[in-house]
Structure 1
Amino acid sequence: MREIGVPHPRLPLPASGERDDPRAFLAWLSDAIPMVEHLGIREMRREGESLVWELSLAPNLNDKGTGFGGGLTAQTTLLGWCWTTLWLRERGHARDVVVAEASQRFLAPVTGDYRLTCTPERAHGSETLAERLASRGRGRIALTQQLWCGDTLCLEACGDYAVLPAS
């Protein structure tokens, strides 16, 4: 049981050059952020620079029987946090990440199970973040999240994620 004001223990970093096991990372994330177990995440995977979640709609229904905007927004924000955290972990950094700014645009109702994708907003966003971390010890990256229900783009979100200085 999590206690208010008490940080959750960090997940040990993966071996040098390796990626986190998606199942182990999601299990840790569910412990660290209790609402995660209720989001309906069925799968997490990498596709190139993208982080992808496959999700069930059932836990995120609104009163109209479609996707609840507040829950979908929370998912896009968390997916960006995960993208940034996993990117850091692959490079051997155990750092705190916070969302600095986020916005979303709802394009169509979510009427079934869906997938969320997260990618850097700019082509060289990852390289810029790496350079800023090396030179300043902190940095930011702009990420785009898209929610797809089949072939329909239902939600597009943008987030600016800050990597805090090492403590």
Structure 2
Amino acid sequence: MAQPRQPGVPYPRLPLPETQEDLVAFQQWLGEAIPMVGALGIQSVTQSAAQEGVALTWQLALSPNLNDKGTGFGGALTAQTTLQGWCWVTLWLRAQGRAQDVVVAEASQRFIAPVTSDYRIICTPSEPQGPEQLAEKLHTRGKGSIALTQQLYCGDTLCLEASGRYAVLAGA
């Protein structure tokens, strides 16, 4: 069993992938690096090409995220969308062979409908040119940021739309 995390002590980075990212290994590392991940109900993590660029999709269970009304707890949903954006940027950097720190710079959510069953969240760049612009900033300045959008669906119903800007810090 892993040692409990200690405040102020960074968790060791996952080695960069030699070829394609192992999303199961990444999810396991994420749960060790960020202890609350184990309580979020993430059932699966997938990446796919989408019209807006690479999409990161999470399938989640509602039961660990219930509120007093028996629907999705807004705080848990907010944590999930924010974390998913961080993961999108981290995985994108890893695919570029870059090991840099990512932080959330700003985030907002719009709750549209109650979350009443297991659900999925899809994260994509807010602008199609976002990844290319980030790559250029990293090349010229060593740091940059990207805007991402997360959409939470119960079946075909859009229940929540979130957006965030994630900053990639300059390497040490």
TM exceeds 0.5?
A: yes
Give the match's secondary structure for 1:147: strand
Instruction: Check if 1:73 corresponds to 2:73.
Output: no
Q: Displacement, 1:3?
A: 0.5
Letter in 2 for 1:3: Q
State the Cα RMSD in Å. Answer: 0.5
Q: Displacement, 1:14?
A: 0.3
* Identity percentage of aligned residues: 65
Instruction: Check if 1:144 corresponds to 2:149.
Output: yes
Residue matched to 1:7: 10
Give the match's secondary structure for 1:42: strand
Residue matched to 1:30: 31
Match of 1:126 among 118, 126, 131: 131
Distance (Å, rounded) in 2 between the aligned partners of 1:123 and 1:26: 26
Aligned pair count reads 165
Pairing of 1:30-49 with structure 2 (within 5 A): 30-48=31-49, 49=54
Distance (Å, rounded) in 1 between the aligned partners of 2:20 and 2:42: 19
Q: Alpha-carbon deviations, 1:21-62, whole Å to 9, x = none? A: 111000000000000011000000012110000000000000
Residue matched to 2:20: 19
Distance (Å, rounded) in 1 between the aligned partners of 2:28 and 2:99: 18
Instruction: Check if 1:96 corresponds to 2:101.
Output: yes
Distance (Å, rounded) in 2 between the aligned partners of 1:23 and 1:63: 32
Runs of 4+ in 1 over 6 A off after TM superposition: none
Instruction: Check if 1:50 corresponds to 2:55.
Output: yes
Distance (Å, rounded) in 1 between the aligned partners of 2:136 and 2:91: 17
Distance (Å, rounded) in 2 between the aligned partners of 1:28 and 1:142: 24
Letter in 2 for 1:64: K
Give the match's secondary structure for 1:51: strand
Distance (Å, rounded) in 1 between the aligned partners of 2:5 and 2:118: 30
Q: Alpha-carbon deviations, 1:45-104, whole Å to 9, x = none? A: 012110000000000000000000000000000000000000000010011000000000
